[in-house]
């Protein structure tokens, strides 16, 4: 019996696998690419934990094929699960539940693991991933707090706490946790990410832009999601400050093109291009490149948050596959497992119809459809900052179909919350002029 880098007992076939297992454990919680090294270990080490970790890597592809690709690893893990520790058996069961689409059970097992094995932070982070995708921010916070007494020495735990606090709108606690993580380890990209969320929410746009620029030199060896997503956040700050050339450069060199096949890189690209267009920027032919990758996602229906953005990107690229994807979303909404069915039927479906309508210039329909979905949008997962895209599309549709009173109502609140945003001030000024209130300063 060996112990991993966090002190958890692990069952392996050979000590040679331990460095690769540690690459998964620490690499996963540090958002580093080396977590993928566990796939190499799984080729020669058939111990249950190694096989379960390899299965998890495959499931993170967030594609329709991912469960089938993970299944051989899960079956090998289950075949020898009797040789594993109780904590390892729980982790195997959680990954198996994930592969079966039962993320409610998977999260419950990860939460139990946080109580029984509080230094198993790879399990904890995976539990947070499931809670995040279900819009359960209190669950994200609860599971991380379970581990705090036993793992306060690990900077990555404070980064996980920071993002959970932020998603619960508890911004002071979020900032304190993020800064503690960064003080313990300057290269803590998840804590950088959480603090960027805090600063964006509080309207500290110039400070946020300066902060990310200052820590970006540490973003080395990260997985593609983490590095592209942190640059995506930097682009959001730049966009609010009307630094359009910088945003376009970040899109071309940092946000799109690291792993174009990966779901999260794709939605980063869709979201940033959409926000640029909503700000009045001509993005040229950039949609066409993204659309060629999104066209491979028509049968996924893994997470509604992803499918909605695939759909919008396909429509903005002018691809007929957008209609096919909408039909698949409609079909899946009727067949989705019970825990997720309401999110697909009551949120993702009307939102998807609204997004497609907006992309095709049917703005009145976009208002009607998105208006149904927006009050429940947390149910599809994603962060506040990510879901704000759908609010921006709704606002744009209000303006374009002439419902200016409703647009003014939303914009006045947003300008007050984001006084540094030049983008919002410009948009509000246009609305005030159209309302015959040109002398009103937004």
Q: What mean pLDDT comes out for the span 434-440?
A: 91
Whole-number pLDDT of residue 321: 98
Q: Is the pTM of this model over 0.75?
A: yes
Residue 321 domain-assigned (yes or no)? yes
Same-domain check for residues 34 and 141: yes
pLDDT tens digits, one per residue of 332-383: 999 998 889 999 999 999 999 999 999 999 999 999 999 999 999 999 999 9
Q: Could you give the number of structural domains in the chain?
A: 4
Q: Are residues 128 and 16 in the same domain?
A: yes
| Residues 176, 136 share a domain | no
Task: Say if residue 139 is in the same domain as residue 185.
Answer: no
Which of 88, 119, 151 is a domain's end point? 151
Say if 324 falls within a structural domain.
Answer: yes
pLDDT at residue 439, as a whole number: 83
| Tens digit of each residue's pLDDT (9 = 90 or more) over 43-75 | 999 999 999 999 999 999 999 999 999 999 999
Residue 198 lies in a domain: yes
Of 89, 117, 151, the one marking the end of a domain is: 151
In this structure, are 184 and 254 located in the same domain? yes
| Domain assignment present for 159 | no
Query: The domain spanning residue 214 has which CATH number?
Result: 1.25.40.10
Does one domain contain both 143 and 11?
yes
Q: Is residue 409 part of a domain?
A: yes
Domain identity same for 252 and 291: no
- Would you place residue 442 in the very low, low, confident or very high pLDDT band (cuts 50, 70, 90)? confident
pLDDT in tens, 99-134: 999 999 999 999 999 999 999 999 999 999 999 999
Within this chain, do residues 140 and 22 fall inside the same structural domain, yes or no?
yes
In a domain, 396, yes or no: no
* Structural domain harbouring 310: 273-390
Q: Mark whether 24 and 129 lie in a shared domain.
A: yes
- The whole-angstrom separation of Cα 336 and Cα 329 is 10
Pair 50, 188 in one domain? no
Answer yes or no: do 124 and 6 share one domain: yes
pLDDT of amino acid 36: 97
The answer on 305 and 171 residing in a single domain is no
Q: Is residue 348 included in any domain, yes or no?
A: yes
């Amino acid at each position: 019996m060996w112990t991993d880098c966090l002190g958890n007992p692990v069952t392996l076939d050979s000590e040679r696998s331990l460095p690769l297992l540690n690459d998964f454990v620490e690499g996963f919680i540090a958002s580093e690419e080396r977590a993928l090294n566990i796939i190499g270990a799984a080729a020669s080490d058939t111990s249950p934990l190694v096989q379960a970790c390899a299965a998890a890597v495959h499931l993170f592809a967030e594609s329709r094929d991912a469960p089938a690709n993970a299944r051989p690893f899960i079956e090998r893990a289950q075949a020898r699960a009797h040789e594993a520790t109780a904590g390892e058996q729980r982790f195997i069961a959680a990954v198996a539940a994930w592969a079966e689409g039962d993320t409610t059970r998977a999260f419950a097992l990860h939460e139990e693991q946080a109580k029984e094995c509080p230094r198993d932070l790879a399990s904890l982070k995976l539990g947070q991933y499931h809670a995040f995708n279900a819009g359960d921010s209190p669950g994200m916070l609860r599971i991380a707090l379970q581990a705090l007494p036993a793992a306060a020495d690990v900077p990555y735990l404070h980064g996980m706490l920071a993002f959970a606090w932020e998603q619960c709108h508890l911004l002071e606690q979020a900032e304190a946790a993020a800064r503690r993580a960064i003080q313990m380890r300057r290269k803590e990209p998840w804590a950088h990410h959480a603090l960027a969320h805090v600063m964006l929410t509080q309207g500290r746009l110039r400070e946020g832009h300066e902060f990310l620029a200052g820590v970006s030199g540490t973003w080395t060896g990260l997985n593609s999601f983490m590095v592209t997503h942190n640059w995506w956040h930097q682009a959001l700050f730049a966009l609010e400050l009307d630094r359009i050339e910088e945003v376009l450069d970040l899109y071309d060199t940092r946000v799109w093109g690291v792993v174009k096949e990966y779901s999260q890189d794709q939605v980063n690209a869709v979201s940033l291009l959409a926000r640029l267009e909503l700000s009045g920027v001509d993005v040229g032919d950039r949609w066409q490149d993204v659309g060629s990758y999104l066209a491979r996602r028509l049968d996924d229906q893994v997470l509604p948050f992803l499918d909605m953005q695939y759909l919008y990107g396909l429509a903005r690229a002018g691809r007929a596959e957008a209609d096919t994807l909408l039909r698949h979303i409609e079909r899946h909404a009727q067949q989705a497992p019970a825990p997720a069915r309401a999110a697909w039927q009551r949120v993702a479906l009307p939102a998807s119809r609204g997004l497609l309508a907006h992309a095709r210039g049917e703005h009145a329909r976009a208002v009607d459809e998105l208006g149904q979905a927006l009050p429940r949008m947390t149910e599809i997962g994603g962060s506040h900052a990510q879901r704000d895209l759908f609010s921006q599309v709704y606002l744009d549709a209000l303006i374009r179909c002439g419902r200016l009173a409703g647009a003014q109502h939303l914009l006045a609140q947003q300008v007050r919350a984001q006084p540094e945003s030049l983008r919002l001030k410009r948009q509000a000024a246009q609305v005030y002029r159209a309302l015959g209130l040109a002398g009103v300063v937004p």
